[in-house]
Amino acid sequence: MAARTVGAIIAETAILLDDEQMVRFKPYMLRTWLNEAQREVSKITECLRAKTTIAVTADTQSYAMTANVVRVVEIYFYSATDTQRYPLEYRDHRASRPIWGTYRSLSQGYPEMYWTEGYPGSFTVGLFPVPSQDGTLEVHYNRFSTDFVTNLGTDDASSIDLPIGWEGTCVSWMLMRAFQASRETERANGARAEFDANVGMLIEASVRYVDEPGSITMDSWYDIFGD
């Protein structure tokens, strides 16, 4: 099952608006609202997972994150001579002061912890201790959706940048924006309610995309009586 395309979502929305020829609501308007919908869904639900790498330079403490980060999930470090992934512990910057005191720039072979500064679109990651050798950060994060070209239609054959099965959430948002533009307040409110309901279900579904338990903890009596 493939994700639905930009063109398919735009066509469906136009039909629901009784504007199949896109006379009232131009294609570029629908594509703009589609981009809005994707960004809103990916921001609220954090449903899009991604992984990237950042080159680490010896004796350099801070690194810029990719611009599409919503939230950092976890970070690993590995060096050019040791491909074992070493998980870094997250610490708030202020909470880390008792750890490093006046030695925040302390250098050692591998970092052990990280903190973040800035905000989505202008994110940096700080490492402590400062790595004394080159290496790589493997960053797992939740990302924003990728925008499509709005005025040319060159992306109309591209798949929607949301989990398969949830593309209809975009239609609800696009209908809301169209009804707002035409000052149909009641219909806009109805479309927004439908959007919010779908987002709520996606939040619940995207917490974990598997149905297996994260871990199994034995009862304290297990050691005594066995199974």
Residue 68 near residue 143, CB atoms below 8 Å: yes
How many structural domains comprise the chain?
A: 2
0.95 surpassed by pTM: no
Mean pLDDT (the chain) is 91
Q: How large is the average pLDDT for residues 14-31?
A: 96
Flag whether 225 is in a domain.
no
Quickly state the pLDDT bin for 125 (edges 50, 70, 90): very high
For residues 46-64, average pLDDT? 95
103 is a domain residue: yes
Domain that holds residue 14: 6-46+147-186+196-206
Tell me the C-alpha distance between 51 and 124, whole Å.
16
Same domain, 86 and 137: yes
Once rounded to an integer, what is the mean pLDDT over residues 135-160?
95
157 and 90 assigned to the same domain: no
Are 60 and 139 members of one domain? yes
* Widest Cα–Cα separation across the chain: 75
Reported as a single tens digit per residue, the pLDDT across 161-197 is 999 999 999 999 999 999 999 999 999 999 999 999 9
Residue 80 has pLDDT above 90, yes or no: no
Closest C-alpha to 31, from 48, 3, 2, 8: 8
State how far the Cα of 78 lies from the Cα of 88, in Å rounded to an integer. 10
Is 120 found in the same domain as 79?
yes
What sign for the dihedral angle of Cα 67, 71, 73, 75?
Answer: positive
Do 120 and 67 share a structural domain?
Answer: yes
